[in-house]
Structure 1
Amino acid sequence: MNSTIAVIGLIIWAAISLTMIVVAPGPLSDDNGFLLGFVNHEFLSFMGVVVTITLASAANLFVEMNKLEDRHDREIFPEAKVDVRDSAYALVGALIASVVIVVAKPWLSPFGDRGETAANCAALAVMAFAIFIMIDLVQAAFNLDPRKLPNA
């Protein structure tokens, strides 16, 4: 996925979230039964599975790039390896953000529906962020074709 599309998607989600928090917090507050039951330990479980599986895939992709570089005795994927490494760290950051959101959500309850909506929107944004990274890594893995390497 083009990183520009992901960034624009997250910016649009931030604008929608802010609008919902100010204008109509109800649909994304804990009045929404799904969000009430999801943005808690269930969200942490979901993110734990997504991050674990995606980190394993990222590590495997990194190892395969190293093997191809070793086979050709030169650095072929320096930028791609940096991108994979950055994606892996971003996933760890997303998992940490998930913990912070779930722990902080009860502290936002004095703000009523607006606080709940802010926490739920943040959780959905973190989830979208992780999914964008997962899509990017899957595309990178499918584009890793040793037959298309420059004059090796």
Structure 2
Amino acid sequence: MTKTIGYCVLICGVTFVGVVAMSHPTALSDEHSFLAGFVGNELLAVLGVILAITIAAAAQLHLSLNSIEERVGADNLFPTTRRGIQSSVHWLIALFVIAIVLVVIKPFVTGSTTGQSLVNGTALVLLLWNALILLSISSAVFGVKPVIDDG
């Protein structure tokens, strides 16, 4: 998956949530029993699992890049990849913190059906964003090819 496709999927998700929240707010409100229960500790649990898996995959990718550089005898062969890994991990942590804030403020900002819909929709967008980052890191991990020493 390319970065452009990921951004397009994310923009479509945000647009969808915005349109549904404004045109048919009950679809994403707490009247939907799954969303009422999910946007809370369950959301944090799912995002925590994604965070743990992705950080482990990012660490493995980082170590694989180190190994390739050692075998080739060169330093800093993959600066763009390393920056991407670091950026992805930082975004995951930031999104997890945003989710914590969202769960904490949910009872205070959900007086209306539209408010509930916006909060629940934001939680779904956060989940989508986390999944896209997980997919990106996983693709990078599986894209690392072995270095065969001919000498």
3-state DSSP of counterpart to 1:145: coil
Counterpart of 1:81? Answer: 82
Measured against aligned partners, the alpha-carbon deviations of 1:4-54 in whole angstroms (never above 9, x if no partner) come to 111111111111111112111001111111101100011111111110111
Verify the 8 A CA contact 2:71 2:147 in the aligned structure 1: no
RMSD: 1.5
Distance 1:101 1:138 in 2: 27
CA shift, 1:146, in A, is 2.4
Distance 1:18 1:68 in 2: 45
Which runs of structure 2 are paired with 1:133-148 in the superposition (5 Å)?
133-147=133-147
Measured against aligned partners, the alpha-carbon deviations of 1:46-76 in whole angstroms (never above 9, x if no partner) come to 1111101111111111111112112212132
Aligned residues: 148
Unpaired runs of 5+ residues, structure 1, are none
Which runs of structure 2 are paired with 1:92-131 in the superposition (5 Å)?
92-110=93-111, 112-131=112-131
Which runs of structure 2 are paired with 1:1-152 in the superposition (5 Å)?
1-74=1-74, 75-110=76-111, 112-147=112-147
The letter of the residue matching 1:86 is: S
Q: Tell which deviates more after alignment, 12-21 or 32-41.
A: 12-21
Unpaired runs of 5+ residues, structure 2, are none
Q: Segments of 4+ in structure 1 off by > 6 A?
A: none
| Structure-1-length-normalised TM-score | 0.92
Measured against aligned partners, the alpha-carbon deviations of 1:94-132 in whole angstroms (never above 9, x if no partner) come to 11111011111111122x111111111111101000100
